[in-house]
Amino acid sequence: MSAEHHDYSEHDVQREVTDLQAKSATAARIFDLRRIIGGLFVLYGIIVTIAGINPSDSSLDKSEGININLWTGLGMLALGIFFLTWLKLKPAVPVRVDEEEGDGA
C-alpha cells in the first residue's frame, strides 16, 4: 500500500501516541515493584505481628525466650512502610522517547 491510501492524519497519529503514553504511565505506576513488595510486607507483617501478640509458652521456649513473631512482624511492617513511603515520595516516571531518537535520523 502506498502512503496516499492511509486515512490517518498527523493529528490522529499524535493523539494515538499520546493515549499510549498515558496508558504506559498508568501501567508503570500500577506495576511498580515497590508497591507490590511494600504491600506484601505490610500484609504479612500485620499477620505475623498479630501472631506474636499472644505467644504460646512452647513458641517462646523454641526461640529461647524471644518473641520472634512479634519482632519479625514489626520488622516486616517497617520494611513495607518504607517501600510504600519511597513510592509516595518518588513515584515512577515512565521513560519518554523523543521523536528525533525514534526516527533513526
Percent of the chain with pLDDT over 70: 67
Would residue 28 count as lying in a domain? Answer: yes
Residues with Cβ within 8 Å of 65's Cβ and at least 6 positions away in sequence, in order, are none
- Residue written as cell 525466650? 65
- Lookup: cell for 32: 511498580
Q: Do the Cβ atoms of 49 and 80 come closer than 8 Å?
A: no
Would residue 5 count as lying in a domain? Answer: no
Structural domain boundaries enclosing 23: 19-91
Q: Is the pLDDT of residue 18 over 80?
A: no
Would residue 13 count as lying in a domain? Answer: no
Reported as a single tens digit per residue, the pLDDT across 62-71 is 888 899 999 9
| Alpha helix ranges (H) inside the chain | 10-30, 33-53, 57-62, 68-89, 99-103
Would residue 100 count as lying in a domain? Answer: no
Choice between 15 and 6, residue whose per-residue pLDDT is larger: 15
Q: Is the pLDDT of residue 28 over 70?
A: no
> What was the pLDDT predicted at 13?
72
Would residue 33 count as lying in a domain? Answer: yes
DSSP label of 63: T
Number of domains in the chain: 1
Average pLDDT score over residue span 73-99: 84
Per-residue burial over 64-99, b = 16 or more CB atoms within 10 Å of its CB, e = otherwise: eeebbbbebbeebbebbeebbeebeeeebeeeeeee
Indicate the angle between helix axes 33-53 and 68-89, nearest 10 degrees: 150
